[in-house]
Amino acid sequence: MAKHTITLIPGDGIGPEIVAATVRVVEATGVDIEWETQIIGAQALEKFGTTIPESTIESIKRNKVALKGPLTTPVGKGFTSVNVGLRKALDLYANVRPIKALPNVPCRYPELDLVIVRENTESLYAGLEHVVVPGVVESLKIITEKASTRIARYAFEYARKHNRKKVTAMHKANIMKLSDGLFLQCFHDVAKDYPEIEADDKIIDNACMQLVMRPEQFEVMVLENLYGDIVSDLCAGLIGGLGLAPGANIGELGAVFEAVHGSAPDIAGQGIANPTAIMMSAFMMLRHIEEFAAADAAEKAMMDVYADGDVRTRDLGGSSSTADFASAIVEKLKP
């Protein structure tokens, strides 16, 4: 029997291509995993008549860990985000997104190493919208003391565990005095329990400018859901693009590992997507299941491929395919 059973959601768009490449690399480490493949999103709607089948939720609850490709959400119409639905259904409240430059990859900040902790369950991102009267739409921003305290505590615990010295909350409490004000208050209340860690806060618009000009001043950043979403893509841009930013959605019921980027319909089906972000999410997953040696070996193999510089995907100026990139890493993992 396999030592670990993990739910595998290939997703759509570039999802199946990058997930297949990632499974090859994970398996090349020799780690003993049985994958339980599940569908969700548009494919599930067609097969089961629902975008989030109970069987998928049950699989993640049972296994406690999932690796997930991106899922497409129709813009301005159609079904609501399955990504958001999944995070809510499993109460995956902390979205952790390390932003670290890779060796030999041209980018604006080659030394950058920071972490985004995004609240994953509420704020404006919850999609609570309705038409008040024709021509007037209301979108609700929910901020609770419980969720704000929980995410602040997660950020400080993360900082303590990973030996980071500073946590910065980003907010708009000057304008949204009650909602962002509550988020900020909870942040500073929690900070009192972590006297060895500097607690800083910045208004989100200034924070974005600071991130572009002097990102090295940040270590761990904690943000509400929508701000965290936007700032994640901004930060991915600082280290070379969306193909490079991994992530994890963590909660008490389980953990779902996925890249920051979406399903990239513009390049889907061509075998040219960069699988780095989801591979690095998988390495985070290996550490989560305490397969540290496998994670270290796979990460080192990937860093060596980057350091060699011969094999890289088109988004980074190369001509290698998704599969070529995976093969180069698998080759490095051979004894």
- 172 in active site: yes
Number of residues located near ligand NAI, criterion CB under 6 A: 20
Closest CB to ligand NAI among residues 120, 263: 263
SS3 320: strand
Q: Does 71 bind ligand NAI (CB under 6 A)?
A: yes
Handedness of CA 28, 314, 273, 80 (dihedral sign): positive
Q: Which of 7, 59, 72, 123 binds ligand NAI (CB under 6 A)?
A: 72
Closer to ligand NAI by CB, 198 or 233: give it.
233
Near ligand NAI in 298-327, by CB under 6 A: 315
Q: For residues 211, 14, 31 and 286, what is the CA-based torsion angle, rounded to 10 degrees? A: 20
Amino acid in position 93: Y
The full 3-state SS of 120-174, as one line of letters, equals CCCEHHHCCEEEEECCEEEECCECCHHHHHHHHHHHHHHHHHCCCCEEEEEECCC
DSSP 244: G
What is the x/- site pattern for ligand NAI, positions 234-263, by CB under 6 A? --------xx--------------x--xxx
Does residue 126 touch ligand NAI according to CB under 6 A? no
Does position 86 bind ligand NAI by CB under 6 A? Answer: no
Compute the distance between CA of residue 178 and CA of residue 213 in angstroms, rounded to an integer.
30
Instruction: Provide CB contacts within 8 A for 307, sequence distance 6+.
Output: 103, 104
Q: Which of 230, 229, 250, 239 is nearest to 274 (CA)?
A: 239
| Of 172, 180, 306, 332, catalytic | 172
Q: Which of 224/258 has CB closer to ligand NAI?
A: 258
Q: Which of 93, 202, 229, 306 is catalytic?
A: 229
Catalytic residue among 32, 193, 205, 308: 205
Closest chain position to ligand NAI (CB)? 262
**Is residue 225 a contact point for ligand NAI (CB under 6 A)?**
no
Q: Which residues bind ligand NAI (CB under 6 A)?
A: 14, 70-73, 83, 242-243, 258, 261-267, 273-274, 277, 315
